[in-house]
Amino acid sequence: MDAEALLETAVREAGDRIRAALAMRFRDLDMAEEAFGFAALRAVETWRRDGAPRDPAAWLYAVARRRAFDLGRRAQVRERAQHDPPEPTPDPETILMAAFEPIPDERLRLIFICCHPALSPEARIALTLRTLCGLSVERIARAWLTTEVAMQQRLTRAKGKIRDAAIRFEIPGPDQWPERLDAVLATLEIAYAQAYEDAAGLSDAADLAGETLRLSGLLAQLLPDEPEVLGLAAMIRLAESRRPARLDDLGAMTPLSEQDVDLWDAALIAEAAGLLRRAADLGRSGPYQLMATIHVVHAARRETGATAWADIVTLYDILLAVRPSAVAEVNRAVALAEAQGAEQGLTALAAIDAPARLADWLPYQAARAGLCAKAGRVEEAADALRHALALHPAPAERLFLQRRLAELSAA
């Protein structure tokens, strides 16, 4: 394997872990990023010249740690790190594993560590998505319907507080899990939504689909008495059950209402149903259980051949009362259009009191295009499609939108 390929593998397999180990040790995420970047840059050159190291991950960690020490000495702010005795054999695994026991998965542990309650809820989630899921600031900003600049400021402020107030990056004991759980669930929810956006699974967020599926299942095993944990695990399973039906033969995205139900993953649907039953037995409802239930109504089309849109509208009404969001309002408007007619849906869509950024949110423009076309407002529909196409859709979504636009022009 050549040096570049070796580095790529090491970064993919151990990058998160190394960055987290550095962040924990130096309590400075920016420095961890910078030091890790430096090590990766050095790696190719050195490995080409001297041959590949026995353990590329350990090599990267050792070089990055040395770099972080140098940076810290230069900035004279890392007093704590400088007091630590140098370690003769740095091994990220040992350092990490020594600190971790109660949560049997590395990434999940790191998510719990990052979701620190002394940071604002939004900052916790954004920081975790950035650091552990590798999502770009632009993507995270989009998930909150805010600007990249505003999100960057929030992240910078959070990192500043971690450094200046000396927040500890250590695994919290089980007694501290509840106060971190909401942020952990929201992190998994947003990470999955990013992967779901891309039906073909080609984007940089694509591998988060399988990962959030796995992590949410693990969390459900870990906390089987938390109904919202079960609800999130069910929701992700139900959404993911439709993946085999989300692309047509030409690679274009197929909308839910046009999907071939025989392609849906019956095993995932059954697993989700079991999780939701257990959640219901616990007798405490919440937004994730509600969202999962909406997916259940969609999934029922496999048996009944029809979608109970009126039920979906009602479920969205309850969801909006529990957890208001512009995203849920857009979805409710689409369901309302199916249940009562396109004009009702468009009225609901127009009534959304949302941040200005909603107009630049792709699902909003796609929904508007669909409803306008249904209502016979061809010009407005074409306008919304053009707007959606300008928002950098993933390839499969782009094909779908282009096809709709061509159909409108032909009509």
Partner 1 sequence: MQYLLLIYSDEALREPALLQEITAAHMRLGAELAEAGAMVGGNRLKTSDTATTIRTVGGAKTLHDGPYAETREQLAGYYLVEAPDLDAAIGWGKKIPGGPNYSIEVRPIWPLS
Which residues here bind partner 1, judged by CB under 8 A?
A: 79, 117-120, 123, 157, 160-161, 164-168, 170, 179
- In the complex, the smallest distance separating the C-beta of residue 120 from partner 1, rounded to whole angstroms, is 4
CB-count burial class (<10 Å; 0-12, 13-18, 19+) for 379 = exposed
Give the single-character DSSP code of 173: P
- In the complex, the smallest distance separating the C-beta of residue 157 from partner 1, rounded to whole angstroms, is 6
Q: Count other C-beta atoms under 10 Å from residue 91's C-beta.
A: 15
- In the complex, the smallest distance separating the C-beta of residue 117 from partner 1, rounded to whole angstroms, is 4
CB-count burial class (<10 Å; 0-12, 13-18, 19+) for 260 = exposed
Q: Count other C-beta atoms under 10 Å from residue 271's C-beta.
A: 18
Nearer to partner 1 among residue 120 and residue 152 (C-beta): 120
Nearer to partner 1 among residue 51 and residue 85 (C-beta): 85
Q: Identify which of 80, 121, 99 has the alpha carbon closest to the alpha carbon of residue 17.
A: 99
CA 353 to the chain's CA centroid? 25
Q: What are the tokens at 45?
A: 């050159």
- In the complex, the smallest distance separating the C-beta of residue 116 from partner 1, rounded to whole angstroms, is 8
Nearer to partner 1 among residue 153 and residue 409 (C-beta): 153
Q: What are the tokens at 48?
A: 């080409």
Whole-angstrom distance, CA of residue 205 vs CA of residue 192:
8
- In the complex, the smallest distance separating the C-beta of residue 78 from partner 1, rounded to whole angstroms, is 13
Nearer to partner 1 among residue 60 and residue 186 (C-beta): 186
- In the complex, the smallest distance separating the C-beta of residue 167 from partner 1, rounded to whole angstroms, is 5
Nearer to partner 1 among residue 6 and residue 171 (C-beta): 171
- In the complex, the smallest distance separating the C-beta of residue 226 from partner 1, rounded to whole angstroms, is 18
Helix (H, G, I), strand (E, B) or coil at 94: helix
Cα 113 to Cα 170, 177, 277, distances in angstroms? 6, 10, 30
Nearer to partner 1 among residue 102 and residue 160 (C-beta): 160
Q: What are the tokens at 93?
A: 């695994």
Nearer to partner 1 among residue 2 and residue 179 (C-beta): 179
- In the complex, the smallest distance separating the C-beta of residue 168 from partner 1, rounded to whole angstroms, is 4
Nearer to partner 1 among residue 80 and residue 323 (C-beta): 80
- In the complex, the smallest distance separating the C-beta of residue 172 from partner 1, rounded to whole angstroms, is 9
The residue written with tokens 């971790």 in the block is 100
Helix (H, G, I), strand (E, B) or coil at 253: strand
- In the complex, the smallest distance separating the C-beta of residue 110 from partner 1, rounded to whole angstroms, is 16
Nearer to partner 1 among residue 166 and residue 250 (C-beta): 166
Helix (H, G, I), strand (E, B) or coil at 85: coil
Contact 299, 264 (CB under 8 A): yes
Give the single-character DSSP code of 247: B
Q: Find residue 247's DSSP bridge partners.
A: 253
Residues 6+ apart with CB under 8 A from 389: 398, 401, 402, 405
- Residue count of the chain: 411
Nearer to partner 1 among residue 174 and residue 244 (C-beta): 174
3-state helix, strand, coil in the chain (%, to 5): 75, 0, 25
Residues 6+ apart with CB under 8 A from 5: none
Nearer to partner 1 among residue 160 and residue 274 (C-beta): 160
Contact 283, 319 (CB under 8 A): no
- In the complex, the smallest distance separating the C-beta of residue 122 from partner 1, rounded to whole angstroms, is 9
